[in-house]
Structure 1
Amino acid sequence: MSNDAKDSGSGQQELTISGAQAHGFSSESLTVADVLRLPSMRGARLLAGTEGLDRAVEMSNVMEVPDILPWVKPGELLLTTAYPIRERPESLAGLLETLDQHGLAAIGIKTGRYLEQIPESALAAADSLGLPLIHLGEDVGFDEIMQEVLTGNLDRRAKVIARTEASMRELVDVVVGGGDLADVCRTLVQWTGVAAVVTTLDGRVRCLRTADEGTSPADVLGLKCFDRSGRFRVEDEPAGRSRHSEAVEELSWGNVVIEGGRRPAPETLPPTQSLGRIVAFGTQAMRAGDFRLLEQAAAAAALVITREQAITAVESKYRTDFVLEVLRGHIASTDRVLSHAHSLGWDLDRPISVAVAEVDSDADSTDARNKRTMQTLFADAWTKAVSQFDPSAAVVGSGDQVIVLLAAEPREKIIRRLEEFVSSVRGYGGGGRREFSVGISRPAEGVSRLAPAYQEAMRALEVGRRLARGQGLRHYDSLGVYRLLLQVGEQTELRNFAEEVLGPLATDAKDEYAGLRETLQKLLDHNLNVAETARALFFHYNTLRYRIGKLEQMVGPFTQDPDLRLSLALALQIVKLP
Structure 2
Amino acid sequence: MSNEVQVGDLLDLPTLAGTTVVAGSSGLERRVYNVSVVAGTEITQWVKPGAALLSTGHPLRDSADSMCDVIRELDARSVACLAIRLGSYLDDFPPGLLETAEEVGLPVIRLTDSFAFDDIIIDVLRRINSALLADLDLAERVHAALSDIVMSGGTAGRVASEAARLLGAEVNLLDPIGGAIPPSEAQGTPSTGDWRALESSARDPRTGTEPFEYVVLRLGGPANLLGYLTARRTDRPFSAVEVRALERSAAVAALALSQQAAVRDVEAQFQSEILTRLLRGEFDEVDAAASRLHELGWRLSCPLVVAAIGVWPLDGRRLRDPRAVLWLRSTGLALLRQALQSPSGTGASGMVGHHLTAVLPAPDRPRLEDALQSVIDKFHRRTAEELSHGISAGLSADCSELQDAPRALRQALVAVRAGGRRSRPSRPCSFTELGALGLVLAAAGDDDTADLVAQVLAPLDRLPAREADGLLATLRALVAENMNFVDAARALHCHYNTVRHRVHRLEELLGPFSTDADLWVNISLALRLREFAAESG
TM-score bracket for this pair, using the shorter chain length: 0.7 to 0.9
Aligned residue identity for 2:193: D
Q: CA-to-partner distance for each residue in 1:397-456, whole Å, 9 max, x for gaps?
A: 4576321111225xxx94x65543333334469996644211221222222110121112
Map residues 300-315 of structure 1 onto 2, 5 A cutoff.
300-315=252-267
Q: CA-to-partner distance for each residue in 1:141-189, whole Å, 9 max, x for gaps?
A: 6676566656654553354234323321221112212333343233212
Judge which range, 81-90 or 32-41, deviates more: 81-90
Aligned residue identity for 1:185: A
Query: What is the deviation of 1:484?
Result: 2.4
Query: What is the deviation of 1:392?
Result: 0.8
Alignment check: 8 A CA contact 2:179 2:192 kept = no
Alignment check: 8 A CA contact 1:205 1:232 kept = no
Gaps of 5+ in 2: 385-389
TM-score normalised by length of structure 2: 0.77
Gaps of 5+ in 1: 1-21, 211-215, 246-250, 261-270
Say which of 373, 377, 396 aligns to 1:423: 373
Query: Which residue of structure 2 aligns with residue 227 of structure 1?
Result: 193
Query: What is the deviation of 1:349?
Result: 3.3
Query: Which residue of structure 1 aligns with residue 227 of structure 2?
Result: 276
Map residues 527-542 of structure 1 onto 2, 5 A cutoff.
527=482, 529=484, 532-533=487-488, 536=491, 539=493, 541=494
Cα distance in structure 2, aligned partners of 1:66 and 1:497: 100
Q: CA-to-partner distance for each residue in 1:179-226, whole Å, 9 max, x for gaps?
A: 33343233212320133222223232124799xxxxx954x54xxx53
Query: Which residue of structure 2 aligns with residue 379 of structure 1?
Result: 333
Q: CA-to-partner distance for each residue in 1:333-390, whole Å, 9 max, x for gaps?
A: 21222233233332333111111012334479x9978974664221122122233698
Query: What is the deviation of 1:89?
Result: 5.1
Query: Which residue of structure 1 aligns with residue 387 of structure 2?
Result: none
Q: Secondary structure at the match of 2:340?
A: helix
Cα distance in structure 1, aligned partners of 2:162 and 2:227: 18
Q: CA-to-partner distance for each residue in 1:73-117, whole Å, 9 max, x for gaps?
A: 543334445556647858645654554355333222333355433
Aligned residue identity for 2:111: L
Alignment check: 8 A CA contact 2:303 2:362 kept = yes
Say which of 301, 305, 327 aligns to 1:349: 301
Q: Are 1:323 and 2:289 counterparts? A: no
Say which of 385, 395, 411 aligns to 1:440: 395
Query: What is the deviation of 1:500?
Result: 2.7
Q: CA, structure 1 residues 313+208, in 2 after alignment: closer, same or farther (shift >3 Å)? A: closer
TM-score normalised by length of structure 1: 0.73
Alignment check: 8 A CA contact 2:394 2:419 kept = yes
Query: Which residue of structure 1 aligns with residue 404 of structure 2?
Result: 449
Cα distance in structure 2, aligned partners of 1:39 and 1:244: 29
Query: Which residue of structure 1 aligns with residue 241 of structure 2?
Result: 289
Cα distance in structure 2, aligned partners of 1:295 and 1:430: 30
Cα distance in structure 2, aligned partners of 1:514 and 1:72: 81
Alignment check: 8 A CA contact 2:160 2:173 kept = yes
Q: Secondary structure at the match of 2:163?
A: helix
Q: CA, structure 1 residues 501+149, in 2 after alignment: closer, same or farther (shift >3 Å)? A: farther
Query: What is the deviation of 1:299?
Result: 2.8
Q: CA, structure 1 residues 425+272, in 2 after alignment: closer, same or farther (shift >3 Å)? A: closer
Judge which range, 75-84 or 329-338, deviates more: 75-84
Judge which range, 110-119 or 555-564, deviates more: 555-564
Q: Secondary structure at the match of 2:305?
A: strand
Say which of 23, 26, 30 aligns to 2:5: 30
Q: CA, structure 1 residues 552+43, in 2 after alignment: closer, same or farther (shift >3 Å)? A: farther
Query: Which residue of structure 1 aligns with residue 26 of structure 2?
Result: 51
Cα distance in structure 2, aligned partners of 1:73 and 1:545: 91
Cα distance in structure 1, aligned partners of 2:473 and 2:430: 24
Q: Are 1:106 and 2:81 counterparts? A: yes
Alignment check: 8 A CA contact 1:436 1:472 kept = no
Say which of 456, 481, 487 aligns to 2:437: 481
Q: Secondary structure at the match of 1:438?
A: strand
Q: Are 1:576 and 2:527 counterparts? A: no
Query: What is the deviation of 1:502?
Result: 3.6
Cα distance in structure 1, aligned partners of 2:39 and 2:184: 52
Aligned residue identity for 1:279: T
Query: Which residue of structure 1 aligns with residue 451 of structure 2?
Result: 493
Judge which range, 126-135 or 89-98, deviates more: 89-98
Q: Secondary structure at the match of 1:201?
A: coil
Say which of 186, 189, 214 aligns to 2:161: 186
Higher helix proportion (structure 1 or 2): 2
Cα distance in structure 2, aligned partners of 1:337 and 1:87: 95
Cα distance in structure 1, aligned partners of 2:427 and 2:420: 5
Query: What is the deviation of 1:481?
Result: 2.9
Q: Secondary structure at the match of 2:282?
A: coil
Alignment check: 8 A CA contact 2:36 2:51 kept = yes
Say which of 218, 233, 240 aligns to 1:257: 218
Alignment check: 8 A CA contact 2:275 2:349 kept = no
Cα distance in structure 2, aligned partners of 1:303 and 1:499: 59
Cα distance in structure 1, aligned partners of 2:6 and 2:17: 17
Aligned residue identity for 2:244: R
Query: What is the deviation of 1:56?
Result: 0.8
Alignment check: 8 A CA contact 1:197 1:208 kept = no
Aligned residues: 516
Cα distance in structure 2, aligned partners of 1:406 and 1:91: 82
Query: What is the deviation of 1:293?
Result: 1.1
Cα distance in structure 1, aligned partners of 2:487 and 2:66: 83
Cα distance in structure 2, aligned partners of 1:197 and 1:390: 30
Cα distance in structure 2, aligned partners of 1:97 and 1:551: 87
Q: Secondary structure at the match of 1:235?
A: helix
Query: Which residue of structure 2 aligns with residue 503 of structure 1?
Result: 461
Alignment check: 8 A CA contact 1:62 1:78 kept = yes
Alignment check: 8 A CA contact 2:481 2:488 kept = yes
Q: Secondary structure at the match of 2:278?
A: helix
Alignment check: 8 A CA contact 1:186 1:209 kept = no
Judge which range, 563-572 or 333-342, deviates more: 563-572
Identity rate, percent: 25
Query: What is the deviation of 1:138?
Result: 4.3
> What RMSD in Å do the two structures reach over aligned CA positions?
4.6
Say which of 463, 472, 477 aligns to 1:522: 477
